[in-house]
């Protein structure tokens, strides 16, 4: 047995446009400690990889663990990652051009690293430690600035030629809908992404509708999470927004159920905090739009890991790539 196979610890990293967050975990997924630093996304790739090396070094040192006790590093990041471990596109790192990500991290840490798109990473996290435990087929929908996704069939996360199976944001749900940043018209993300949710609430506030959102923020700094929370506190305007968002989330979720027949659809992101005020309209829309033989026995549930899904998934990624079979549903 090599060190890699017997080393008791794993590092999981969630690399975002704002922060790089690293956890040290045991092979069973239990988290021992974490470190976070700004990810320096505005600069060249080298700076960001120096940050990654630093969070790895710090999270190991803080727990008094030796480098040779770490089996590997898993990293989830927003972008398209080829099987050759090049990141060919990332919305959050404007200076990255076909970056050899594995090479750049391995050379800085002398540990084997493994990379995966952040939404697929969260899918692995929810599958093994969260709302997807015990299921063989699952669709993950992460509602954030955009919409991330991941498809699991027969216990396996689908990747495809560029690790980009499960990119659900830009499927058209209304061909005559508003234009998306990608150039297409009526992408799912245009109707359910952060901007749209905030703008719907703003438009209603500007019509003079009473709302706690106005009192609390003056209408500024609105976030999907704040709107979801206001809806749960009984705010009528916020509930209306959740209803509209839920309808469009439902149209896309019905599409995924119709095509993939999952056992479970797991929906995460700040807006999922709205609970039944969001999931009610989602389920109603799915009942109206999904083919019965595909929807039969499929549950639509909120994600359970919140912002930990990414780092938890990054831990699963390492164990999986090192050939340690992680059974679906194993906690």
Between helix 276-289 and helix 236-260 the angle, nearest 10°, is 40
**Which phi and psi angles does 187 have, rounded to 5°?**
-60, 155
Least CB distance from residue 166 to a second copy, whole Å? 7
Indicate the Cα dihedral angle 315, 116, 326, 319, nearest 10°: -50
Burial label, 183 (beta-carbon count in 10 A; 0-12, 13-18, 19+): exposed
Collapsed DSSP state (helix, strand, coil) of residue 300 = strand
Least CB distance from residue 285 to a second copy, whole Å? 9
Least CB distance from residue 211 to a second copy, whole Å? 27
- Which single residue is written with the structure tokens 């968002």? 245
Tally of CA atoms within 13 A in the half-sphere of 160 that contains its CB? 13
Among 4, 63, 145, 184, indicate the residue that binds a second copy (CB under 8 A).
184
Least CB distance from residue 53 to a second copy, whole Å? 27
Closest residue by Cα to residue 328 from 269, 263, 234, 268: 263
Sketch the per residue contact string, 117 through 136, with a second copy: x for CB under 8 A, - otherwise.
-------------------x
C-alpha span between 279 and 140 (Å, rounded): 14
Footprint of a second copy on residues 208-237 (CB under 8 A)?
A: none
Binding status of residue 76 toward a second copy by CB under 8 A: no
Among 158, 202, 301, 330, indicate the residue that binds a second copy (CB under 8 A).
158
Binding status of residue 289 toward a second copy by CB under 8 A: yes
Least CB distance from residue 308 to a second copy, whole Å? 26
Question: Where does this chain touch a second copy (CB under 8 A) — which range of 61-69, 247-255, 308-316, 321-329?
Answer: 247-255
Binding status of residue 290 toward a second copy by CB under 8 A: yes
Binding status of residue 153 toward a second copy by CB under 8 A: yes
Least CB distance from residue 186 to a second copy, whole Å? 9
Among 27, 37, 54, 171, indicate the residue that binds a second copy (CB under 8 A).
171
Among 44, 47, 160, 218, indicate the residue that binds a second copy (CB under 8 A).
160
C-alpha span between 207 and 273 (Å, rounded): 26
Phi-psi category of 207—alpha, beta or left, where left has phi over 0 and alpha has psi -120 to 50?
alpha
Binding status of residue 137 toward a second copy by CB under 8 A: yes
Between helix 224-232 and helix 236-260 the angle, nearest 10°, is 110
Binding status of residue 161 toward a second copy by CB under 8 A: yes
Question: Which residues, 6 or more positions from 243, have their beta carbon under 8 angstroms from its beta carbon?
Answer: 277, 281
Binding status of residue 255 toward a second copy by CB under 8 A: yes
Question: Where does this chain touch a second copy (CB under 8 A) — which range of 69-77, 152-160, 221-229, 275-283?
Answer: 152-160
Question: Where does this chain touch a second copy (CB under 8 A) — which range of 55-63, 124-132, 276-284, 285-293?
Answer: 285-293
Asked if 52 and 45 count as a contact pair (C-beta separation under 8 A), the reply is no
C-alpha span between 52 and 39 (Å, rounded): 8
Site for a second copy, rule CB under 8 A: 80, 88-89, 136-137, 149, 153-154, 158-162, 164-168, 170-176, 182-185, 251, 254-255, 258-263, 288-291, 293-294
């Amino acid at each position: 047995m090599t060190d890699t196979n017997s080393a008791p610890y794993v590092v999981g990293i969630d690399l975002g446009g704002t922060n790089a967050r690293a956890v040290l975990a045991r092979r069973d997924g239990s988290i021992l400690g974490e470190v976070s630093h700004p990810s320096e996304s505005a600069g060249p790739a080298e700076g960001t990889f120096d940050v990654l090396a630093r969070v790895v070094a710090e999270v190991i040192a803080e727990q008094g663990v030796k480098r040779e006790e770490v089996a590997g590093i898993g990293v989830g990041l927003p972008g398209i990652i080829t099987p050759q471990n090049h990141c060919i596109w990332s919305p959050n790192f404007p200076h990255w051009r076909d970056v050899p990500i594995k090479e750049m991290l391995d050379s800085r840490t002398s540990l084997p690293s493994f990379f995966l798109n952040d939404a697929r990473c969260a899918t692995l996290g929810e599958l093994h430690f969260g709302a997807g435990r015990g299921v063989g087929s699952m669709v993950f929908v992460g509602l954030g600035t955009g919409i991330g996704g991941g498809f699991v069939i027969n216990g396996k996360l689908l990747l495809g030629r560029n690790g980009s199976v499960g990119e659900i944001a830009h499927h058209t749900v209304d061909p005559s809908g508003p234009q998306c940043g990608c150039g297409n018209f009526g992408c799912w993300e245009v109707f359910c992404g952060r901007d749209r949710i905030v703008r719907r609430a703003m438009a209603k506030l500007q019509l003079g509708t009473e709302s706690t959102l106005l009192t609390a923020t003056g209408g500024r700094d609105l976030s999907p999470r704040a709107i979801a929370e206001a809806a749960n506190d009984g705010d009528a305007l916020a509930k209306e927004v959740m209803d509209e968002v839920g309808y469009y989330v439902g149209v896309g979720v019905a599409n995924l159920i119709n095509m993939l027949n999952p056992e479970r659809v797991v929906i995460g992101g700040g807006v999922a905090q709205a609970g039944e005020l969001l999931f009610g309209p989602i389920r109603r829309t799915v009942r109206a739009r999904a083919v019965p033989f595909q929807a039969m026995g499929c549950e639509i549930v909120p994600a359970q890991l919140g912002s930990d899904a990414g780092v938890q998934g990054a831990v699963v990624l390492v164990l999986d790539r090192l050939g340690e079979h992680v059974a679906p549903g194993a906690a």
